[in-house]
Structures are given as C-alpha cells and as structure tokens.
C-alpha cells in the first residue's frame, strides 16, 4: 500500500477499455483505488505503457519512462560515450566497467547511461509510483532490439535504499551512485516537469546523510553523489574531490582504486 505523501490522493485508470484489466492489476499491486473523484494524481495505463499524470488545470503533461525514444535514445547515440562526466565520476575507463548500485534510481536516466556504457546496474527506487514507471519502462525496453541488451544490464530492486544497502546480500557493488532530491528552491525546483510532478509525492531526501553513510559502508571502491553545482555537500564525511559541470557536480568518495 502506498503511503500517499503529503496527503496526495492518487488513483489508477485505464485510458482505453482494453487496458482495464491491467489497470486493475496495478491498482491491486499498489493498493490504490480505481475511481476517486477528487484525485490529484492518476497512474494511467494505455498502449503506450504506464504514465503518471498530475490532475488539474495547470498540471504539466504526463511522466513516463521511455528508454527507446526521446532523450534516452538521443543520449545513447550522441551523448559522448565514456567521455561523459558521469562516466568519469563512476570510474569508467579502458578495461573498467564497474558494478554500480544506483540507490536513488528515479526514472532510471543516469542508470541507463551507465548501462549503455557497459556497467552492470542495480537500481533501487523507494517511491512505489516511480518504481512502477521504471518497471514498465524496463519491460518495454526489452521489446526493442537496440535497447534490450542495455536493459538486461539494469536490475530493479524495490524498497528503501538505506535498508536495502544495510541488508545487502551477495557480492557488494563496486560503486554506489546517489542523486538525492535536493531541498526546494523557488528558482530551480520547478524547471523540470518530472520535478513538478514528483515533489508533492516524494518531498526532499532529508535522510541523505544516512543514505551516504550506508553507501560508504557497502561500496567496495567508491561512492559518487550528484548535487546541484552550488549546493553544499551532504552532511558527513567530505568528498576527496569532485567533477563540476554547468549545472551539477559529482562529489567523489574513493575507497579503493578501480583497476582493469
């Protein structure tokens, strides 16, 4: 059952009668109603997959995960390969493709970039609605011959990232990647459609210090934290160095060198 964050009312609906049964399955899995007159959000099911739509006159368009077309496809084809800052941050180099845990997976965009470069990725997303979008996007990605090999390197885990890391079973990840939701700022918080939709559901990651602590305890080689460029570091141990871009930076906490 979803804890409806900040009192948000959420329903599941089929946009086409042919998908009513699938909508009912999602409603049952997520513990959400199918018919709520005053819902603020709708998880919508159609031939295009599953999408999250904020309801109301000024609401932005729907949010869905699409690894086949749009921004993901453009970045896969023209994004700069292993020269991208995120690739350098996690330690990708000749002969090195680390096993990475993305503990704040969101819509999976960064994880998809790293998987497309050859990293084996584990993804954790604790917000059930976002995890549902991600699960649906991964499933649809398997149907595309170019994207399927990448998606097969992306393994979705459900639950609270801190608890998942504290009770990790099996071989630990070499690198843990964190991109916590940054506290609200008027000028920047509403820029992206996804952020407008997600913030009422997710809020800020006020447990980011605990997230960093759990990551540092589990990762064998390094932890990487993505932050807005001018934001302070997460409270706790300080990173040894960082990579800075136009709008964001990567704080790097090394434990052991990654070698071929």
**φ, ψ of residue 140 in degrees (nearest 5):** -70, -30
What size, in residues, is the chain?
260
Asked if residue 259 lies in contact with residue 229, where contact means CB atoms within 8 angstroms, the answer is: no
131 in Cβ contact with 158 (< 8 Å): yes
Closest CA to 202 of 123, 116, 125: 125
Q: Report whether 125 belongs to an annotated binding site.
A: yes
Which tokens hold the place of 105? 């997976």
225: tokens are 């934290």
Instruction: Specify whether the CB–CB gap between 102 and 111 falls below 8 A.
Output: yes
Question: C-alpha angle with apex 51: 47 to 54, nearest 5 degrees?
Answer: 135
Q: Is 179 annotated as a binding residue?
A: yes
Q: Is 35 annotated as a binding residue?
A: no
User: Which residues fall in the annotated binding site?
Assistant: 125-126, 179
Annotated binding site for S-adenosyl-L-methionine: 125-126, 179
């Amino acid at each position: 059952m979803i804890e409806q964050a900040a009192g948000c009312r959420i329903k599941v609906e089929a946009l086409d009668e042919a998908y009513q049964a699938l909508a009912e399955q999602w409603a049952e899995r997520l513990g959400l109603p199918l018919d709520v007159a005053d819902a603020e959000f709708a998880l919508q099911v159609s031939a295009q997959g599953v999408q999250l739509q904020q309801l109301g006159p000024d609401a932005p368009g729907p949010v869905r995960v699409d690894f086949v077309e749009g921004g993901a496809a453009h970045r896969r084809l023209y994004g700069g390969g292993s020269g991208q800052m995120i690739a350098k941050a996690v330690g990708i180099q000749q002969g090195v493709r680390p096993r990475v845990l993305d503990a704040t997976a969101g819509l999976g965009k960064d994880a998809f970039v790293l998987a497309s470069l050859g990293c084996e990725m584990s993804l954790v997303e604790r917000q059930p609605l976002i995890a549902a979008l991600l699960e649906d996007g991964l499933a649809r990605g398997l149907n595309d011959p170019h994207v399927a090999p990448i998606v097969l390197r992306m393994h979705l885990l459900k639950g609270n990232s801190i608890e998942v890391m504290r009770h990790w079973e099996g071989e630990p990840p070499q690198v843990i990647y964190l991109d916590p939701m940054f506290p609200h700022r008027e000028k920047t918080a509403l820029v992206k459609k996804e952020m407008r939709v997600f913030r009422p559901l997710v809020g800020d990651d006020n447990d980011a210090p605990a997230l960093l602590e759990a990551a540092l305890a589990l990762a064998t080689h390094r932890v990487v934290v993505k932050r807005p460029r001018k934001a302070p570091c997460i409270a706790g141990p300080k990173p040894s160095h960082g990579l800075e871009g136009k709008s964001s930076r990567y704080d790097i906490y090394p434990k052991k060198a990654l070698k071929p």
